[in-house]
């Protein structure tokens, strides 16, 4: 077998799915009908696992912006930002992102994953120290590994554990980069950002916040946890993605440090990746305008999130620690989680299946993503589908 021996565990897992007769990790969406509906295996299905928080994927203004850009500039840039891939739209989007966050500088990347890879691995290197929340996203872990810096994890959302590790670092703490997330994608909980900022003032470290799941969701203007916690001036780097609230694909980093511009000249994932297409840039610019112009979508999103969270809690399900648009439902075992996921799909509800090692603490989850585009009736339909499942699947 040689090269393929390392895939034995994956092969065993695939064999188990083959025996079950379904594969939840290879679901084909045959037709998208709306931000909340699709056709899967010939049936109409309610989408409750898309991260389409503001429901902007079908907004006619975003669609028209994308179509107009494609007609004017073509389907792609065919080059990296440093070669031939920087169009006027890329620069305009960077200016608008910086203005939205009230920051001096912004860089746009091709994906949110690539943004984390590029920023983390460029800012830090051998001899530096990274202190990251144990539940950080895979892209953060990969960026840390690429950097060659020393990587230390602290217990999830535990500021006391973070401080204990900072004390151990001594003088090294001042040149340490701490990374947390606004809303964590597995359980939907927020980082204790105010507590972490208090530690920053005490120990003098650098701080990065990934607002991937909190952009458009938290804060008066939708800037994320940095705005909700009133910590914008204390955070050194904010990274995020366009693939959730903004309904497209791409990533970014904003900062008040003018040196952020130097990252362009050293980040391999910026230098050697084709830039976002004109259509993508145009739709994101339009979505950002919609986000900045009002809070109606965000209010509708939170109404739906609380409705679903409260409804599932009343049914006795064990949920993530707080209501947010990411709602995690704990299930006792991997096998029960698989069959529960299939039972929901059979009832016309698509949610995300999260199994170890992706799920925290080796547990298994059914994860719902709520959207502003969901109707009150659709949220009730999701609750009804969960209620039809056997109560003994809950922890």
Q: Quick one: pLDDT at residue 391?
A: 52
Under the banding of pLDDT at 50, 70 and 90, the label for residue 395 is very low
For the chain, percent of residues with pLDDT exceeding 90: 86
- Condensed to tens digits (0 to 9), the pLDDT of residues 260-278 reads 999 999 999 999 999 999 9
Q: Which of 137, 156, 200, 244 is catalytic?
A: 244
Q: Which of 105, 213, 307, 374 is catalytic?
A: 213
Predicted TM-score (pTM) of this structure: 0.95
* Largest Cα span, the chain: 61
3-state secondary structure 98-166: HHHHCCCEEEEECCHHHHHHHHHHHHCCCCCEEEEECCCCHHHHHHHHHHCCEEEEECCCCHHHHHHHH
* Residue 244 annotated among the catalytic residues of the structure: yes
* Residue 381 annotated among the catalytic residues of the structure: no
- Condensed to tens digits (0 to 9), the pLDDT of residues 365-384 reads 999 999 999 999 999 999 99
Under the banding of pLDDT at 50, 70 and 90, the label for residue 22 is confident
CA 179/CA 190 separation, integer angstroms:
13
- What average pLDDT does the structure give for the chain? 94
Closest by CA position to 235, among listed 102, 111, 362: 102
User: What is the domain partition of the chain in residue ranges?
Assistant: 16-47+295-393, 60-293
Architecture of the domain whose range is 60-293: 3-Layer(aba) Sandwich (3.40)
Place of tokens 């994890």: 153
- Condensed to tens digits (0 to 9), the pLDDT of residues 140-182 reads 999 999 999 999 999 999 999 999 999 999 999 999 999 999 9
Distances in whole angstroms, Cα of residue 324 to Cα of each of 195, 220, 299:
20, 15, 12
Q: What is the mean pLDDT of residues 126-135?
A: 97
Task: Return the structure tokens found at 359.
Answer: 């799920």
Strands 105-109, 251-255: pairing is antiparallel
Binning the chain into helix, strand and coil, the percentages to the nearest 5 are 45, 20, 35
Is 392 a residue whose pLDDT tops 70?
no
Is 65 a residue whose pLDDT tops 70?
yes
CA 389/CA 41 separation, integer angstroms:
21
Under the banding of pLDDT at 50, 70 and 90, the label for residue 15 is confident
Bond prior to 357 in cis (omega within 30° of 0): yes
Would 16-47+295-393 and 60-293 be classified into the same CATH topology?
A: no
Under the banding of pLDDT at 50, 70 and 90, the label for residue 204 is very high
Q: What is the mean pLDDT of residues 103-111?
A: 98
Q: Poorest-confidence range of 20-24, 88-92, 167-171?
A: 20-24
Is 87 a residue whose pLDDT tops 90?
yes
Q: Quick one: pLDDT at residue 356?
A: 82
Q: Quick one: pLDDT at residue 263?
A: 95
End-to-end CA distance of the chain: 40
Residues 6+ apart with CB under 8 A from 314: none
CA 77/CA 202 separation, integer angstroms:
46
* Residue 185 annotated among the catalytic residues of the structure: yes
CA 28/CA 39 separation, integer angstroms:
9
For the 16-47+295-393 domain, the top CATH level (class) is alpha beta
Strands 364-369, 105-109: pairing is unpaired
Q: Which of 147, 185, 214, 269 is catalytic?
A: 185
CA 185/CA 190 separation, integer angstroms:
10
Beta partners for 330? 365
């Amino acid at each position: 077998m040689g090269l393929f021996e390392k895939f034995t565990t994956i092969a065993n897992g695939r064999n188990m799915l083959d025996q079950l007769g379904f594969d939840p990790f290879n679901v084909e969406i045959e037709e998208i009908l709306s931000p909340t509906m699709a056709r899967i295996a010939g049936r109409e299905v309610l989408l409750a696992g898309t991260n389409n928080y503001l429901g902007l994927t079908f907004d006619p203004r975003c669609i028209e912006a994308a179509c107009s850009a494609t007609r004017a500039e073509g389907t792609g840039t065919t080059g990296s930002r440093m070669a031939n891939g920087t169009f006027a739209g890329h620069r305009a989007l960077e200016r608008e992102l910086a203005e939205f966050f009230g920051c001096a500088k912004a860089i746009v990347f091709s994906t949110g994953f690539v943004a984390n890879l590029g920023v983390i691995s460029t800012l830090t290197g051998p001899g530096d120290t990274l202190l990251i929340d144990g539940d950080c996203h895979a892209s953060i872990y990969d960026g840390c590994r690429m950097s060659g810096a020393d990587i230390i994890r602290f217990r999830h959302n535990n500021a006391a554990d973070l401080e204990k590790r900072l004390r151990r670092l001594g003088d090294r703490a001042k040149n340490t980069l701490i990374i947390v997330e606004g809303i964590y994608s597995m359980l939907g909980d927020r980082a204790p950002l105010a507590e972490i900022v208090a530690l920053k003032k005490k120990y003098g470290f650098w701080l990065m916040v990934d607002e991937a799941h909190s952009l458009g969701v938290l804060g008066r203007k939708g800037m994320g946890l940095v705005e909700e916690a009133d910590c914008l001036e204390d955070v050194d780097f904010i990274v995020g993605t366009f693939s959730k609230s903004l309904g497209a694909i791409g990533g970014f980093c904003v900062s008040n440090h003018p040196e952020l511009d130097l990252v362009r000249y050293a980040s391999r994932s910026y230098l050697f990746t084709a830039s976002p297409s004109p259509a993508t840039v145009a739709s994101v610019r339009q979505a950002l305008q919609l986000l900045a112009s009002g809070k109606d979508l965000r209010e509708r999103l939170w109404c739906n999130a609380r409705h679903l969270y409260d409804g599932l809690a009343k049914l006795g399900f064990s949920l993530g620690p707080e209501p947010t648009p990411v709602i995690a439902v704990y299930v006792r075992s991997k096998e029960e989680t698989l069959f529960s996921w299939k039972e929901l799909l059979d009832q016309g509800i698509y949610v995300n299946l999260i199994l170890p090692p992706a799920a925290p603490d080796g547990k298994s989850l059914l994860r719902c993503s709520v959207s502003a585009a969901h109707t009150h009736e659709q949220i009730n339909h999701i609750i009804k589908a969960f209620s039809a499942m056997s109560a003994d699947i809950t922890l």
